[in-house]
């Protein structure tokens, strides 16, 4: 019997763990190193998800391990008003590498927290409360963040916060604003969306929060020009703009920040996942002008792990490694290799409707037929199971779509990309035949 099927382990798990996101994968992880983790049977599994999109430098990166070991023995956690050198140094480094004048930084633990911090500040500074999000955006599961999250997890929890409004997500593959020629009228869609926002608004628009690439919503990449037009519409309404770069920040898309492509600097930018490379660390960035107003009005976002020194020390090392080893450029090059390989598979499998994304954040969209573009989530689940059985961990997005979110660590090797493509090929062949 496979050790992954250990009855005692699963009995204990089923008895004591809250099921927080669907079924657990049928493997027991014992260790992780580099771009792989090892299960209870000693089988190495290629991690094409970077953990929970966070292990951007792979697992147990030796320099990250060294910093964490040193910090846990020297300076781990302090009262939140006590500052340390790692915290101040990390804030200064983030300000240095970020676009525009986003020079004030709040360090917290999770992406949901950093988004809450930005939303809370935008409400205080503008004096308004209405928050606009994308219809397939994901920003967290806490109060304000969940109210601006439309990708999933809304039903059954009662009313969202007052003033939660949505824009149609920019879907270049399935938008209703794609005509019979295949031309996407994204400007028309965006204007239509803001017309609806204006009609619903009570005149208290505070901010719009958006991912430069909507990752959990299906790796939706807005067309060039879209983000700039969105920013202009926000400015015209006196709204602040928040970029959630939890999954796109720090090199994954082939630029240090995904929003660099669009040449737009928001009033707030949030980081998490990739900043800690697997450890809980997040940041909210804003301008000195905005932060000064917020401070004068008594801005409060006081959490137990604000400005913790240990994760800050890790964040310093993460950015150092990404810049020193030119991982941003590496993501662009390896991302092209991965995308070319997926597009080659698309030529062979009619069930692959679309390949999209940038760098090492790509979407593989499975459909029942290409003409209707009908999603095939059941096929996606079969393919995911086949991939895991063949030794590769994958991620499918929620919401009834058959979309794989492919995001291996930036440390991935060419041979591992080729292996991942080979596993996808075999899994597709077996799953389509089974159908």
Displacement of CA 209 from its chain's centroid (Å): 13
> How far apart are the C-alpha atoms of 278 and 51, rounded to whole Å?
8
Cβ atoms of 78 and 423 within 8 Å: the answer is no
350 assigned to active site = no
The radius of gyration of the chain from alpha carbons, rounded to an integer in Å, stands at 22
Task: Count helices and strands (H / E) in the chain.
Answer: 13, 14
Catalytic residue among 244, 262, 354, 416: 244
Total length of the chain = 435
Strands 361-366 and 352-358: antiparallel
The upper half-sphere exposure of residue 177, i.e. CA atoms within 13 Å in the direction of its Cβ, equals: 15
Tell me whether residue 174 is one of the annotated catalytic residues: no
Residues forming a β-bridge with 131:
164, 207
Which residues lie across from 269 on neighbouring strands?
243, 285
Per the annotation, the verdict on 138 as an active-site residue is: yes
426 annotated active-site? no
Residue 22 has, within 13 A of its CA and on its CB side, a CA count of 10
* Active-site entry in 211, 221, 291, 308: 211
Burial-class residue 299 by CB neighbours within 10 Å (0-12, 13-18, 19+).
middle
Catalytic residue (one of 36, 138, 171, 365) = 138
* Residue 85 annotated as catalytic: no
Q: Rounded to an integer, what distance in angstroms lies between the CA atom of residue 22 and that of residue 367?
A: 22
Out of 113, 247, 317, 356, pick the active-site residue: 247
Handedness of CA 287, 290, 293, 295 (dihedral sign): negative
CB 410 within 8 A of CB 56: yes
- Reply yes or no on whether 191 is catalytic: no
CB 193 within 8 A of CB 229: no
Contact yes or no for 313/86 (Cβ under 8 A): yes
How far apart CA 270 and CA 162 sit, in angstroms, is: 23
- Residues 119/128, Cβ–Cβ less than 8 Å: no
Eight-class DSSP state of 4: G
Could you give the C-alpha distances from 344 to 172, 352, 355, in angstroms and in order?
20, 10, 10
List the catalytic residue out of 136, 252, 273, 382: 273
User: What whole-number distance in Å separates Cα of residue 87 and Cα of residue 105?
Assistant: 10
For the chain, the maximum distance between any two Cα atoms, rounded to a whole number of angstroms, is 64
List beta partners, residue 105. 285
Q: Which residues are catalytic?
A: 138, 211, 244, 247, 273, 405
């Amino acid at each position: 019997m496979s050790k992954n099927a250990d009855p005692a382990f699963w009995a204990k798990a089923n008895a004591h763990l809250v099921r927080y996101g669907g079924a657990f994968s049928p493997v027991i992880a014992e260790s992780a190193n580099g771009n792989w983790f090892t299960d209870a049977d000693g089988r190495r599994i290629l991690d094409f998800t970077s953990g929970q999109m966070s292990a951007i430098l792979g697992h147990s990166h030796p320099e990250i391990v060294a910093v964490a070991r040193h910090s846990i023995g020297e300076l781990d956690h302090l009262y939140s008003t006590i500052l340390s050198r790692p915290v101040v140094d990390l804030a200064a480094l983030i300000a240095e590498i970020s676009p525009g004048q986003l020079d004030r930084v709040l360090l917290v633990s999770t992406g949901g927290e950093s988004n809450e911090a930005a939303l809370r500040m935008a409400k205080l500074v503008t004096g308004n409360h209405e928050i606009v999000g994308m219809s397939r955006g994901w920003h967290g599961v806490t109060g304000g963040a969940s109210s601006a999250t439309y990708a999933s997890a809304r039903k059954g929890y009662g009313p969202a916060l007052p003033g939660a409004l949505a824009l149609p997500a920019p879907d270049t593959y399935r938008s209703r604003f794609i005509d019979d020629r295949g031309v996407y009228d994204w400007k028309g869609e965006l204007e239509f969306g803001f017309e609806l926002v204006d009609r619903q608004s009570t005149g208290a628009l505070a901010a719009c929060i958006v991912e430069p690439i909507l990752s959990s919503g299906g790796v939706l990449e807005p067309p060039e020009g879209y983000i700039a037009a969105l920013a202009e519409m926000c400015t015209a309404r006196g709204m602040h703009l928040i970029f959630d770069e939890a999954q796109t920040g720090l090199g994954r898309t082939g630029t240090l920040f995904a929003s660099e492509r669009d040449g737009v600097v928001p009033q707030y930018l949030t980081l998490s996942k990739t900043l800690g490379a697997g450890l809980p660390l997040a940041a909210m960035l804003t301008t000195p002008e905005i932060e000064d107003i917020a401070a004068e009005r008594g801005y409060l976002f006081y959490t137990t792990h604000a400005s913790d020194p240990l994760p800050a020390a890790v964040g310093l090392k993460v950015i150092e490694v990404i810049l020193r080893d030119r991982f941003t450029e590496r993501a662009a090059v390896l991302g092209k290799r991965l995308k070319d390989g997926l597009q080659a598979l698309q030529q062979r499998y009619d069930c692959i409707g679309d390949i999209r994304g940038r760098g090492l954040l790509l979407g593989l969209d499975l459909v029942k037929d290409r003409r209707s573009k009908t999603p095939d989530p059941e096929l996606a689940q079969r393919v995911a199971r086949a991939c895991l059985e063949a030794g590769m961990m994958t991620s499918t997005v929620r919401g009834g779509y058959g979309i794989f979110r492919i995001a291996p660590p930036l440390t991935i090797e060419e041979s591992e990309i080729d292996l991942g493509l080979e596993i996808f090929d075999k899994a597709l062949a077996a799953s389509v035949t089974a159908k």
